[in-house]
Structure 1
């Protein structure tokens, strides 16, 4: 494990220089749970100045809080001086810090399972907060008074739900009550920090439980409040025997593969987000309808994702999935050219999975899904959209001036090519001449 080896080298150099150095936090927790830690943090008695003296050229961006980033064997290791934190007036960061001892440092951390230390040389676990017992019972418990911990940094509210979701732990009752009581403090936290925690939660295999905890605690009001309108939003029972839109969405999240992409998870969460505002009852058929919920849903999804400061590439993937999810019901009626264009979407594999769980969580119909699997196999021998046989240069060579018709003519040629009616450039040029002549007459 390169990360552990690098962190051990850093710790050993600190120890050789006369300082205490211990592994701290998540790497200790994950190791005890049998997981491979993604990174290692080192807690030390050395001050930032002493750390920098031992590791010249390190990043001291967090030195005010006792944190230095050391690069060892190409791996970044966070080295933090044991400290106690002053008051948190803004609910985000301490006003001051004082360097301290391992027992005092453990008390300032968020949850007992994150407050463990480990001797990097002997592997001895050092537990000042009861974290070992809580790991044994898979319990998430705030260190000290829960309300105080959440008051120091309101992002810990969301971290509590994220850890419970990712680790499969139960939140201890007093800690859970404090999460509910302080839920509105999440409004103090920047969208970027909320987004990063929410992304880890919604991509966890237990994402359904994560969403339920966010809703039950009230935290969802400060993340995606639009989800609350899904609760109790009825659906036509002949198509959705599972119940309301919230139930449907939760089942879909649960049905996704454990390693589903962030974009797919967000698309599933948001695919029916516009059903509440488009809810109507057809008086003639006495049937619930959600006309246009796909188009409006795409607009709402974009607003939500921009509000949470998701990058453009995520937004550009999720919004079309929401916009197109109702088109799957028509795939068997599509002409070959239209179907190939539909399947050529860069997000088609995720869209296909969204369609699968959309049906599996409701009416159970699989005919369109199976049809698309067959077509995918049938079309696999060549590109869905092959290289064009003609281009705008051919039109210019014919003495034509660029205009809107260029796109129409070229698309008409591509359609014939996708349908398999023309396969050679000569055929395409002949058809292009016919189309241009018709427009002149």
Structure 2
């Protein structure tokens, strides 16, 4: 993609225009990171760009943005501009074509306000971004408060950049975020979710979590997390502290690469503890009866409110609902255990259980047991094909219904436990233990 962007810059330059790489790609190049895309900023107007690149598509005419298609790549080409006022806290009401100097001034952070001329191998810095890159500092361009008043989403972008890059946030920039955090509510929940996800999927997610909480941003779109603070837990099981500390510790114990449903289930697995906390009148023992079931409901409500897709919501809800079941795995019958482990979300649930243990009492007996069982069961599917099907029972005179369903489940259980090993075994067992009910009994079922 860089080669394509350079080709575009060469053609624009040959036509008498100024053209430079701009923004995040320059930042990432200087940090030794591979840019996800390459953006070009130019003095050429959209009409001039389209004339040079027939077939280019204007996607932001109001903002002077054109998508150039070249070499099977799509590169965003934007005309240098200055922005007018931001009445909606998200987008400028008007723009005016301008110069590289003024274009840099309208951007969010100094490290994103850099240009690079690939034809002369020269960094062009009008905002002091190179110094901040070397210092590992995230600083708003100009007056921080003004930058965030213009576009409220920039506050979440600041948290994301500080998290992903491991940068500190400059004092005035941080103070402005804290002072304006409530205004993030004006941003669409989809954009909030997008920045939140990028932050929480970072290997440095705990830093992002802390920044969201301490800035006041978390309270605006996920206030349930703040309710975990000060929610005491039984010290014999949770010597680490309250539910908030426990949740934060679990986030820190996740592997660098973790699925989004796993991260969300860790974040929300104990979300119902404040609502279910009780103390025994005699012993003073703290309990959270039903927090797993209520937590699953709350998790679904929260993730739907944040407009997550179903392929994130459903496994996260299942994980929260079942996270307490892991304490019983060593007592489960073989068939029950196999079914438990065969569920689609089991691997993420097992990872949740692991950090739940490590983030509390440190006992991993059940986790170790399940890891051993995974190896033991590895030679065949956890749920092998049934040795007897409904058609086989119908051939014996059974009728479809609940009774036949229960019988099939019983046969599968005996199969999973090794009692029945073949279709012949199963038919013999049915003949001896499950005589065919008459039609009236089957209908009643």
- Using the size of structure 1 for normalisation, the TM-score is 0.97
How do 1:29-108 residues align onto structure 2 when only pairs under 5 Å count? 29-108=27-106
Question: What is the deviation of 1:434?
Answer: 4.7
- Choose 324-333 or 391-400, whichever is displaced more: 391-400
Three-state SS of the structure 2 residue aligned to 1:71 is strand
Structure 2 Cα separation of the partners of residues 58 and 383 of structure 1: 52
- For residue 197 of structure 1, what is the aligned residue in structure 2? 195
Question: What is the deviation of 1:16?
Answer: 2.0
Structure 2 Cα separation of the partners of residues 227 and 268 of structure 1: 12
Measured against aligned partners, the alpha-carbon deviations of 1:395-415 in whole angstroms (never above 9, x if no partner) come to: 333343322223212111111
- Choose 418-427 or 313-322, whichever is displaced more: 418-427
Measured against aligned partners, the alpha-carbon deviations of 1:229-282 in whole angstroms (never above 9, x if no partner) come to: 001111110011010111111111111111111111111101111111011112
**Mapped pair 1:411 → 2:426:** no
CA contact (8 A) 1:85 1:94 kept: yes
- For residue 247 of structure 1, what is the aligned residue in structure 2? 245
Measured against aligned partners, the alpha-carbon deviations of 1:103-136 in whole angstroms (never above 9, x if no partner) come to: 0000010000000010122221100001011111
Question: What is the deviation of 1:323?
Answer: 0.8
User: What residue ranges of structure 1 are gaps of 5+ in the alignment?
Assistant: none
Question: What is the deviation of 1:338?
Answer: 0.6
Three-state SS of the structure 1 residue aligned to 2:362 is coil
Query: Which of these residues, 112, 122, 125, is aligned with residue 123 of structure 2?
Result: 125
Measured against aligned partners, the alpha-carbon deviations of 1:132-180 in whole angstroms (never above 9, x if no partner) come to: 1111111110001111111111100111111111111111111101001
Question: What is the deviation of 1:14?
Answer: 1.7
Question: What is the deviation of 1:187?
Answer: 0.5
Question: What is the deviation of 1:221?
Answer: 1.8
Three-state SS of the structure 2 residue aligned to 1:69 is strand
- For residue 391 of structure 1, what is the aligned residue in structure 2? 389
Structure 1 Cα separation of the partners of residues 272 and 239 of structure 2: 19
Query: Which of these residues, 321, 324, 339, is aligned with residue 323 of structure 1?
Result: 321
Question: What is the deviation of 1:52?
Answer: 1.8
Three-state SS of the structure 2 residue aligned to 1:359 is helix
Structure 1 Cα separation of the partners of residues 427 and 62 of structure 2: 70
User: What residue ranges of structure 2 are gaps of 5+ in the alignment?
Assistant: none
Structure 2 Cα separation of the partners of residues 59 and 355 of structure 1: 49
Query: Which of these residues, 285, 288, 296, is aligned with residue 287 of structure 1?
Result: 285
What is the alpha-carbon root mean square deviation over aligned residues? 1.4
- Using the size of structure 2 for normalisation, the TM-score is 0.96
Structure 1 Cα separation of the partners of residues 96 and 408 of structure 2: 70
CA contact (8 A) 1:235 1:244 kept: yes
- Choose 332-341 or 392-401, whichever is displaced more: 392-401
